[in-house]
Structure 1
């Protein structure tokens, strides 16, 4: 008999069990002809394997009832949300306040984002991204939950906008630093092709990955500062391929030596950009090390203090974090300015990277790592000073828009928002965000 594998519901299992019990009762009755074992007969009658019959009987006897197997959810193809889409989401939220004069909610945001950027996910994904961008839920006067940027994020953006405006007034050279990646599978999605020819084939896997590090501004890319290297892995976020040691090496050996005097270096808040020296103790620091830190900074303490007390004392006397990169830059006469969190739209090199990737994709037909490496070098070389000037002016316009929006939104908050404790606002239920 050919064994058939099938998923049985609890109802189907019950039928199989009853049939099995029936044959068991039949085999116990006297008969003139030999009969098969009840398990074998039940298998023939129900068209399931004998092992399944035994498993069902065992489940019924041990648990007293039969259970349906849990079904796994089938997920469709998922398109990652890139930095450009995240910027569009932030701008759409601001648009609700400044243009539409409406309270932004997940339901109200979802459909416009589907139309504007073809948002690929569900409302749950949108909610997750909105929270990652630094927004929180608060109650309005209509007791509906609305999206409000966290005060800390707004404050850091205002500080950044004020500082970069001051640097521009002083005529200082602004250099934007960032990293990106290109897979060997990165190619054009569509091309002209004949019915008899398949054209360019899109690889099944991502292939190998290149990491690109560079910096530039209104004067174009910093000369001789390009770094492209092969990643060890093509999975996960490309940021894990860079660390504080490697970034410091590139920063000191390739970037600083090629900068004009008194430049301002602008970068995001990646961990390897912000490696600290003389770091304040944390909850993972041993008690003896906390004591050593306090002595080093001449902070008086009682030896009888417990570890939590020592840690609180260290944090209370902690000054502004000291970063390794900032110290190196200042020694060379340069300044460091960090972008506010979750604001890649304020970094013009993001637009430059998009040009580089599109150039590589349009010419990548072999999907070989050496060929893609060559294309990447050529794509970077093709970026002109004019390209950089356009992107820098575009970002300057975005900066000004943020300044205006912050004023408008601030004026509306008193009218829209009731100050409630954050603890009373649970944001786990999407229905509350309607």
Structure 2
């Protein structure tokens, strides 16, 4: 949660600076992933055809509130389609970066081929020397007498703020910043909503060309033009709505974080007050007991007189065991 908070704060900061925020992602649609009907109600099935997992279309794109980045689209469609770091990096250098505005910010989610770590972070089995060198290189202060587990705890505490990805190197070399969203937070990336619209149209496209051979789904020029038209149909209006939705999610998230922070402070103050009250009660109880018994810390050798029960005004009569038994026998 701390890392997500930092990334959202950075997005808002860069947006306020007037920098162009570009949202990127990769998605795919498998051949056979089409539907004749949408979900209608809880009693009727929406997808009436089986989903076939096999050949697929892979889309790589990026955009902002103005629409898709011009000339940055990459579509791969055959049974051998696969996306990896080499292809992704080539797309960055040859299609995305040349068409980005100077000093832009590129926002993506965390996927292995996008966010390959350039500098390895020491793990729990690394040597003390390796751990010390890493901490020193990040200007993190540590005690030279620390044991290996202690050094590793410090590394775990700071590593998220100092991990450098190959994506960072590529973008920074061209004057851009990168923000990598933590997993499971698609609400902060507007392109996820855009993919939803694209996939709906692509599913219809699949249903119309599903008669082609299952293992030979390489798209011809006519079909590629139809896909291009699908992308062209998603314009600035759809993108503007998606970005606005992401901004609302950011605002709601920040509002919740502020509320939780304020509540945490209140709980801390209440706990401290309760602890102080308990300390006061303990102190007064101790003083009362000392006064009652006549104990004086400074005069520990003085003989203390403890009053007996009669002197305190309490009077009890104690019956003997024989008397109690005779009373019961009556």
Q: Report the TM-score when normalising by structure 2.
A: 0.61
Distance 1:255 1:168 in 2: 20
Return the match for 1:212 from 42, 59, 73. 59
- SS class of match (2:26): strand
Q: 1:320 to 1:166 in 2, by over 3 A?
A: same
Q: 2:10 aligns with which of 163, 171, 185?
A: 163
Equivalent of residue 31 in structure 2, options 184, 207, 216: 184
Quote the residue 1:249 is aligned against.
Answer: 90
Secondary structure of 1:361's counterpart equals: helix
Query: How many angstroms apart in 2 are the aligned matches of 1:280 and 1:361?
Result: 42
Partner of 1:266: 107
- Three-state SS of the structure 1 residue aligned to 2:230 is helix
Distance of 1:201 and 1:414 partners within structure 2: 54
Q: Give the Cα separation in 2 of the matches to 1:402 and 1:290.
A: 38
The answer on whether the counterparts of 2:33 and 2:52 sit within 8 Å (CA) in structure 1 is no
In the alignment, is the contact (CA less than 8 A) between 2:19 and 2:103 conserved in 1? yes
Tell me the residue number matched to 2:178.
336
- Alpha-carbon displacement from aligned partner over 1:39-82 (angstroms, at most 9, x marks no partner): xxxxxxxxxxxxxxxxxxxxxxxxxxxxxxxxxxxxxxxxxxxx
1:387 to 233, 238, 244: 238
Once the 2 structures are TM-superposed, how far is the Cα of residue 180 of structure 1 from its aligned partner?
Answer: 0.7
Can you give the 5+ residue segments of structure 1 that lack an aligned partner in the other structure?
1-152, 192-199, 235-240, 300-307, 420-434
Alpha-carbon distance in 2 for matches of 1:216, 1:232: 27
Cα distance in structure 1, aligned partners of 2:11 and 2:52: 42
| 1:384 positional shift | 0.8
Q: With structure 1 as the length reference, what TM-score do the two structures score?
A: 0.48
Give, in angstroms, the shift of residue 159 of structure 1.
Answer: 1.5
Cα distance change, pair 215–190 in 1 and its aligned pair in 2 (3 A): same
- 1:51 maps to what in 2? none
Paired residue secondary structure (1:158) = helix
Structure 1 Cα separation of the partners of residues 152 and 187 of structure 2? 37
Residues matched between the structures, number? 244
Match of 1:326 in 2: 168
- The equivalent position to 1:355 in structure 2, one of 197, 203, 212, is 197
Distance of 1:208 and 1:262 partners within structure 2 = 38
Change (3 A) 1:320 1:201: closer
Q: Is the 8 A contact 1:329 1:336 kept in 2?
A: yes
Distance 1:283-1:209 versus aligned 2 partners, 3 A rule: farther
Deviations 1:280-317 (A, max 9, x none): 343577x7x959x77x96x9xxxxxxxx68x8599599
**Which residue does the alignment assign to 1:43?**
none
Other structure's SS at 1:342 match: coil
Q: CA deviation at 1:269?
A: 1.5
Could you tell me how far apart the structure 2 residues matched to 1:282 and 1:406 are? 31
Query: Residues 266-415 of structure 1 correspond to what in structure 2 (within 5 A)?
Result: 266-282=107-123, 312=152, 315=155, 320-363=162-205, 364-367=207-210, 368=212, 369-370=217-218, 374=224, 375-412=226-263
| Structure 1 contact 244–273 (Cα < 8 Å) conserved | yes
Report the 3-state secondary structure (helix = DSSP H, G, I; strand = E; otherwise coil) of the residue aligned with 1:273: coil
CA contact 1:280–1:314 (8 Å) conserved in 2? no
Indicate the larger mover: 370-379 or 329-338: 370-379
Tell me, which stretches of 5 or more residues in structure 2 are unaligned? 39-46, 140-147, 272-330
Q: Is the 8 A contact 1:281 1:314 kept in 2?
A: no
Q: Distance in 2 between matches of 1:313 and 1:162?
A: 26
Task: Give the distance between the partners of 1:165 and 1:260, measured in 2 at CA.
Answer: 18
> Contact 1:275 / 1:323 at 8 angstroms: preserved in 2?
yes
